[in-house]
Structure formats: C-alpha cells, structure tokens
Amino acid sequence: MNFKQLVTTIQTASDELQRSVAKAVNVHLTIRNWLVGFYIVEFEQKGEDRAEYGSNLIVRLSKQIKIKGLTSPELSRCRQFYQTYPRIFGTVSQDFKKLIPEKIFGTLSQDLKNISATEERHLGLLFKNISYSHWIELIKISDDLKRKFYELLILKTTPSVRELQRQINTLTYERLGLSGNYEKAFSQLQKKITPEKNTDIIKSHYFFEFLDINQPELIEETELEQALINHLQQFILELGNGFCFEARQKRVLIGDEYYFIDLVFYHRILKCHVLIDLKVEKASHEHIGQLKTYINYYKKNFVLETDNPPVGILLVTDQNKSLVEYAISDTDKDIFVSKYLLQLPSQKQLTDFIKKEMNRLL
C-alpha cells in the first residue's frame, strides 16, 4: 500500500461508516414514528377511555409526552404515516415487533402481519434505504399509483428530499404518463437526478430531533448564506434602535410543510416582529411571496392585540449585485409605514452590509 492508497482507504472507510450510521438512525426514526402512529390509531379504535379524549387526543397527547420533535402536527403526521403504510410492519425485525404489547400483537389482522414476497421486498428496500423525510413526502400523495411511481423513482435514483419535492411539484408522474415512450422518458429522467449525499440525511431536522441534539441550523443552507446570517444577526443588534433577538431559522409549520425564517426580531419601539429572509441569489417573485406568507403567518399566530403588524425584510445577493427589498405588511396607515422605514435599517445600510460581507467572504 502506498500513501495515496492509504488516504483513499481511510476516506472510504469513514464514508462507509458515516453512511451506515445515518441509515441506522433513520431506520430507528422511521420505525419509532410508525409505532407512534400505530399506538395512536390503536387507542382511537380500542382505547378504554378513548371517548374522553375524542378529537382532542392529539393535542392533549402532545402536551403530556416529553419527546423532542413530537409536536401535535408531528403526531398527526405519524398517524398518517401508519395509515398510509400499515404493512411496513411485515418488514421489520423481531426486535421492533417486541415494542408492540403482546395482547395487541395477537389482535393484529393477518393482512397486516402477512404480505407477499414482492411487497415485502419492495417495502423492505424503502424501509432500509430512505430517510424519514422521504416518507413524509410520499404520504402526502393520496393516489396509490402515483405514490408507487415516486417510490420506484426513489429506489432507482436515490434523490435528495429537495429533489424529490421538485419532481413531485413539476408533475413528473403526469408528464411521464403523457410520454409516448415510458422507458425512454424514465431513462432520461434518471440521468437528470442527482443522488442524495450522506450529509443530506444528517442535515434533516428529524435526524437531530430524534437524537435530541441541539442544532441551530436545521435546514440545508450554503456555507455562504450561513456566514452572512451569522454576521447579519450581530449587525442588526449593534444598530440598537429597539431590536430584540427572538429566533434564528425559526421553524414554522404552514399546511403540511415546514419552513424556516432566517432571523426573527421583535422591535420594542415599533411593537412589531421583524422577519428577515436571506437568499444568495437574485430576487424572484417566489422569494417575495414566501416572505409575505411568513408575515401573514405571524399575523395570525403570534401578533398580540397590542402589537403592530409584522414587517419582512428580504435580502437578496449574488457576486455581482446586492439588493434589499422591504415587504411591508399591508396597512392603510401610511404614517405607520413611514415609522417602519424610519426605525428599521435603511436599504443603504443593508446593501452596504451585504457588499462588505461578500467582499470579506469571497
């Protein structure tokens, strides 16, 4: 063995072990959430005191259990996961099956416990090789055949979760159905999909919550974006003017999707929340629309009667250009809009900040 081979051998061993660890964690996370969904459905159907809880079961359960990440929406998601894939049970090991109480295990239908060899192999491959985040995207698909297509796509191409979302959102299933040559179209599709990396799995917020790890940067962001956010947070606080830091990469659940707001402040003079979103790319209608969605979400869920409407600031930048856009919340109080502009950092201040940081980082 020469030095080059030594380097390659060490790197290969490390990559393989990291891959194994990530897969093992995700298998345990998947079965944990499947079991949670199973327990909930079992209680809803046969629980001795189920009538006492009724439609409030999920909410009351989320307040009693002390498990990081299992909020009320996540418990509902676990239930949906079980209801969509009840037959995963047939693919799991005896060690996991022991987590189902014996008296319940005995009442399980044979249809749930016994599956065909083909289905067992198919579900087993999915169970062992994809992250829980992929399952979340799959259970959103109500059409069984369409879901089967994306299961096959995952097994054939191992896309990242973001890539899977893109394929679903761009109607790949429907477009392939309109193709005159399915095999050729699918072959072309496979060549365009970039496989998932080990780090994609590890960055999942589900991964960190399951391991009970405090991780402030839960979403996949580029290093450049993170560096800018780091300095922007400090820059805003140093301006004074009443800014109080509330959260970084604030996770909010809108519908059945999680979103992350880069920085959230509360301005004690204006008495309003200030939401800041940063993108290392040119401005688009999607960016502005997303920020306005965050503003409306805060209006509905966080604004108190004594608060003024929240305001959003969108910072968009690339290597050739800096741009700052204010997404002022809708209001007919022109005077108060002027107060926003007076109290918040000026567009020039923010533009100068971006240019300075870009020069320092690049």
Q: What is the pLDDT of residue 251?
A: 86
| Adjacent-strand bridge partners of 210 | none
pLDDT band at 102 (very low <50, low <70, confident <90, very high): low
Q: What is the DSSP string of 109-167?
A: -HHHH---HHHHHHHHHHHHHS-HHHHHHHHT---HHHHHHHHHHHHHH-B-HHHHHHH
pLDDT of 79 strictly over 90? yes
Predicted TM-score of the model (pTM): 0.67
Report residue 219's pLDDT band, with 50, 70 and 90 as the boundaries: very low
Enclosing H/E stretch for 264? strand 257-267
Give the mean model confidence (pLDDT) for residues 339-358.
Answer: 79
CATH annotation of 223-361: 3.40.1350.10
In this structure, the strands spanning 311-318 and 272-279 are parallel
Of residues 341 and 86, more confidence is placed in 86
Q: Are 287 and 278 spatial neighbours (Cβ–Cβ below 8 Å)? A: no
Mean pLDDT of 187-204: 71
Judge residue 131's burial from the number of C-beta atoms within 10 Å of its C-beta, 0-12 exposed, 13-18 middle, 19 or more buried. Answer: buried
CB atoms within 10 A of CB 108: 16
> What is the residue type of 8?
T
Query: pLDDT, tens digit, for every residue of 153-171?
Result: 998 888 888 889 888 888 8
Other C-beta atoms closer than 10 Å to the C-beta of 81 total 22
Q: In what order do the strands lie in the sheet with 321-327?
A: 243-254, 257-267, 272-279, 311-318, 321-327
- The domain segmentation of the chain, as residue ranges, is 3-202, 223-361
The predicted model gives 342-351 an average pLDDT of 81
Which has more pLDDT, 338 or 6? 6
At 112 the pLDDT is 57
